[in-house]
């Protein structure tokens, strides 16, 4: 019974894993590879240089990025959009600034699907001690930041 349970857990872990594997980011930005996002869209993720005294990024980052990403004004013809916010919650014991910069409004069509991608990117950022990441595909790029404030 235990072996069967372990096999099921291993299979589920493989199926649910984000599929990204990052290179060493000790000396600078590193690629985390390509993953199929939709039938004809491949996403590539990069994480920034590894931070020395890294503080784990709270999961609220995903909600902030998703919230502002879904608010993109598709009617605005300017190719770059940027949103910044500061989150101050007592449970974090630090203020956090979150930002998202999008290079093209075409992303708007898939805004609900990006919540999952942002979750994967946050996992990569925490695992690689990076406060910045970019997500790129044939439409353009999304730059994500989560920085603790002193």
Instruction: Supply the pTM of this predicted model.
Output: 0.79
pLDDT, tens only, 89-109:
666 677 888 998 888 756 556
Q: What is the pLDDT of residue 110?
A: 63
Q: DSSP strand E in 68-139: where? A: 81-88, 95-102, 132-137
Segments of the chain scoring below 70 in pLDDT: 1-18, 72-80, 89-92, 105-112, 150
Tell me the per-residue pLDDT of 48-67, one tens digit each, with 9 for 90 and over: 999 999 999 999 899 888 88
* Main-chain dihedrals φ then ψ at residue 83, nearest 5 degrees: -135, 135
């Amino acid at each position: 019974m235990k072996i069967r349970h372990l096999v099921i857990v291993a299979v589920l872990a493989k199926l649910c894993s984000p599929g990204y594997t990052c290179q060493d980011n000790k000396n600078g930005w590193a690629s985390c590879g390509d993953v199929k996002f939709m039938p004809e869209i491949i996403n590539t993720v990069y994480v920034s240089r590894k931070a020395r005294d890294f503080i784990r990024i709270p999961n609220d980052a995903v909600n902030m990025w998703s919230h502002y990403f879904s608010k993109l004004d598709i009617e605005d013809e300017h190719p770059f959009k940027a949103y910044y916010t500061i989150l101050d919650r007592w449970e974090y014991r630090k203020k956090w600034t979150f930002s998202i910069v999008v290079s093209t409004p075409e992303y708007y069509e898939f805004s609900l699907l990006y919540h999952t991608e942002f979750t994967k990117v946050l996992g990569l950022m925490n695992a690689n001690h990076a406060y910045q990441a970019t997500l790129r595909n044939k439409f353009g790029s999304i730059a994500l930041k989560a920085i603790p404030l002193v």
